[in-house]
Structure 1
Amino acid sequence: MSVHVISDDAEAVAVATVLADEFRAGASERDLARRLPHAEVDRLSASGLLAVTVPAEHGGADVRTRTLAEIFRLLGSADGSLAQIPQSHFVYVNVICRQGTPEQQKFFFAELLAGRRFGNAQSEAGTRHVQDIRTRLAPRPDGSYVLTGVKHYCTGALFADWIPVLARTEDDLLHVAYVARDTPGLTVVDDWDGMGQRTTASGTVRLDGVPVPADRVLPHHLTFEGPQLHGAVAQLLHAAIDAGIAGGALAQAAQFVRTKSRPWFESGVETAAEDPLLIQRFGELAVRVRASEALLREAARAVDAAHADLTDDTAAEASIAVAAAKVQAALTAVEVADALFELAGTRSALNALNLHRHWRDARTHTLHDPTRWKIQHIGRYVLNGTKPPRHGLL
């Protein structure tokens, strides 16, 4: 596969815009048939978008966080499933930037520039809570490790060249093991059965005595021992996907009303697009979408500012800004995707039109982590100056 290397922020957004338009055309059919987007993910790799956060000293564009968020918003506006697939990819690129040795960075950044993809194997089912990681990374006499465990909701693993696995060592400290997709003992099962985001292939990864060289393991626990933006960046990308889904749903609702809807007989107008009540509701929803996009940009700026001067205060401000953006985007995505049917009328409920994919994607994606806890952290910060906790979900 020939892989383009993107040079700067402007080119990254331009490439994402073109790909979003391309992906939008087939999004509904992929969702209806649950056709996994292998070709589309290959296009992402070949475009160079998956390497845009590689540092400049390693040959990458090293784009701003604001640019990365815009890439995800654009992709989310086209296909809420496809946009989700590279989210973990960039999260685990950040782990390498933060905790990788020079040798690890040299190796993996070259892999990224060559179009290689990261999946994820982080969440587990049946544990006490999301941070209760029971997958084990056991040492061997030669200094290497063996991985054992079962992971669920492993978005992107089926498409990945490398699968980053969250695991604990014998001292219970959290690490990330980067495991090649074809490693013996690693099995990816396509058993994702969600009502939304149907083509993310967020299935199961089984790890049965998987060998891992020592130089493929990074000490992720160190990420949270000082000021960090790991969680803020990860959550910002989720917010961008939600904002994209909202914008995409509003655009499709407007197109449907302009081209297929009939006016209500009491309105006295010739077309549905002239109905003053519909116009009012579209205006209300547009305000919510614009607010989501504005908060997304503000949060991305806060993260970029913290990157330039990382302290407890700047990291806290970035995390709170991202939390606010995530709350707004999640609420808006669900509201707009639901309102689509109110606006477009009875015909829009036809299953063959698949307009409900926006709502299914929004409702599924916004369950990733509860916004009620983000509101708690925002309130504590504003009222009492309490800094948010250091973890990967804020």
Structure 2
Amino acid sequence: MCPSEIPADDRYDELIAPLRPVIERIGLDAFERERDERLATEQLGWLVEAGFARWRTPEDWGGVGARLSDLFRAVAEIAEVDPNLAHVWRNHFSFVEDRVHADGGAADRDLVARLGGGEVVGGGWSETPNATGERITTTARRDPDGGWRISGAKFYSTGSVYARWITVMAIDEAGEQVVALVDAEDPDVVVGDDWDGFGQRITGSGSVRYTDVHVPDERVHPFATRYPYQEQYYQTFMHAILVGIGRAALRDGVAALRARARGHHNGTEARPTHDPELLGVVGTVAARVYAADAAFVASLRSIDDTVDRHAELRATGADPAGDETLTGLLERSWITVAQAQTVVTDSVLDATTVVFDALGSSGTFRAIGLDRHWRNARTLSSHNPRVHKRRIVGDHLVNGASPLDRRDPTAAAAPSTAGATSA
């Protein structure tokens, strides 16, 4: 039994039940869509119709009110059939998280309601390397007639091909980081479906160019005011997708072994399904997937605890930045997620490679598409290198260094956005 199959609370079971037939339907042609690089616009609409876009919207705002851990579990289930489509939602739910945990005024409620109705949000955070070495060169300047003007070019803009809105990181005239919600249908916004990675091919993670795009004041927010657990959010969303990929690799590997008609002449049995060495390979893959799933599930509690404390402080009007309990929870959840990252990444990359040892050369045929699992996992794992997270965890354990005190030495301004800027 995978950890994901261990009975969750009744609330999750209740939430996911109506979504599962939709997920099953999405999976019917997911391989063909990925192979042919066809966008999942219709399938995205099915999830919206099923209410998935409203999962993190509070019930008193007209939403589902799912916990963040519930959302991550659902993303893993979607990723098991279509990791590209699952990834499209990453920036959308981050923006919802931010607005729900902001002041929660009428403007935020109205906007979140629109997003819950299917106006999907894409991302515009990272940029390709430039001559100055600065991370962010996109600018936000005041418009004399009111509002702001956004100019620049982004890459790794996950979900933007599908999006009605795009969140854009920019530097204002004072050198501070701001996040603008830009209308993707503005004529001065040019979205390019030009993602060049060998995995996650239909996530819309390519380029977007902004040329003096007007954005009203209410849709521009200081980056420093964003929800403080965003790095935990972004990384765990990646874990959910990786876990889904691992489950899919195990599923497809088992099916491919069952379909083998004959074994290798060096094998121990004529029938591959009875060869103990091949069965051992499948058992190894299953163990790796189990480890990834277990680490993923184990990290979710610390995130929920952090979210709950932050929400409690916002509800009472207290300053979250000065709360020692929240600081401790943020540190604990950061370290927990970083440790999970190593287990999830190593395990899924291993599983999606080792699975081929149970198959013959036919296991590499394009008609099976087993290689897509490794390509997608490898692409996702390259966004936020686990080698850096291992160092930070070690520094915390040995020297007591807090991961919250980190500063990105290559960033142009203010706090590190390492966990929030990748595709």
TM-score of the pair, normalised by structure 2: 0.86
**2:226 aligned residue:** 223
Cα distance in 2, alignment partners of residues 299 and 365 from structure 1: 19
Cα distance in 2, alignment partners of residues 248 and 285 from structure 1: 11
Cα distance in 1, alignment partners of residues 133 and 373 from structure 2: 26
SS at match of 2:330: helix
Q: State yes or no: 1:56 paired with 2:59.
A: yes
Say whether the 8 Å CA contact 2:279–2:358 is kept in structure 1: no
**1:288 aligned residue:** 288
What does 1:219-368 align with in structure 2 at a 5 Å threshold? 219-223=222-226, 228-260=228-260, 262-310=262-310, 311-368=326-383
Question: Which of 99, 106, 113 is residue 96 of structure 1 equivalent to?
Answer: 99
**2:135 aligned residue:** 132
Q: Bigger shift: 317-326 or 9-18?
A: 9-18
Cα distance in 1, alignment partners of residues 205 and 18 from structure 2: 26
Deviation at 1:53, TM superposition (A): 0.4
Q: Bigger shift: 98-107 or 59-68?
A: 98-107
Q: State yes or no: 1:72 paired with 2:87.
A: no
Q: State yes or no: 1:23 paired with 2:39.
A: no
Q: What do the CA deviations read for 1:95-139 (whole angstroms, capped 9, x no partner)?
A: 212335513311211112322211111110124799721111100
Say whether the 8 Å CA contact 1:119–1:164 is kept in structure 2: yes
What does 1:141-160 align with in structure 2 at a 5 Å threshold? 141-160=144-163
Deviation at 1:165, TM superposition (A): 0.9
Structure 1 pair 130/123, CA: closer, same or farther in 2 (3 Å)? farther
Deviation at 1:349, TM superposition (A): 1.0
Q: What do the CA deviations read for 1:12-35 (whole angstroms, capped 9, x no partner)?
A: 322443333222221211111111
Say whether the 8 Å CA contact 2:129–2:135 is kept in structure 1: no
SS at match of 2:292: helix
**1:3 aligned residue:** none
Cα distance in 1, alignment partners of residues 142 and 254 from structure 2: 58
Say whether the 8 Å CA contact 1:20–1:77 is kept in structure 2: no
Say whether the 8 Å CA contact 1:8–1:61 is kept in structure 2: no
Cα distance in 2, alignment partners of residues 99 and 252 from structure 1: 43
SS at match of 2:88: coil
Structure 1: segments with no counterpart, 5+ residues = 1-6
Cα distance in 2, alignment partners of residues 115 and 393 from structure 1: 28
Q: Bigger shift: 358-367 or 333-342?
A: 333-342
Cα distance in 2, alignment partners of residues 209 and 326 from structure 1: 38
Cα distance in 1, alignment partners of residues 249 and 158 from structure 2: 23
Structure 2: segments with no counterpart, 5+ residues = 1-9, 311-325, 406-415
Cα distance in 1, alignment partners of residues 131 and 66 from structure 2: 37
Cα distance in 1, alignment partners of residues 239 and 22 from structure 2: 20
SS at match of 1:35: coil
Deviation at 1:56, TM superposition (A): 2.3
Q: Bigger shift: 358-367 or 93-102?
A: 93-102
Percent identity for Structure 1 against Structure 2: 28
Q: Bigger shift: 295-304 or 60-69?
A: 60-69
**2:315 aligned residue:** none
What does 1:104-183 align with in structure 2 at a 5 Å threshold? 104-127=107-130, 132-183=135-186
Q: What do the CA deviations read for 1:34-92 (whole angstroms, capped 9, x no partner)?
A: 11111111112111112200122212122112211111111111122111111111112
Q: What do the CA deviations read for 1:353-384 (whole angstroms, capped 9, x no partner)?
A: 22211111111111111000111111122223
SS at match of 1:84: helix
Q: Aligned residue pairs: how many?
A: 385
Deviation at 1:197, TM superposition (A): 1.0
Cα distance in 1, alignment partners of residues 118 and 11 from structure 2: 17
SS at match of 1:68: helix
Tell me which amino acid in the other structure corresponds to 1:305: D
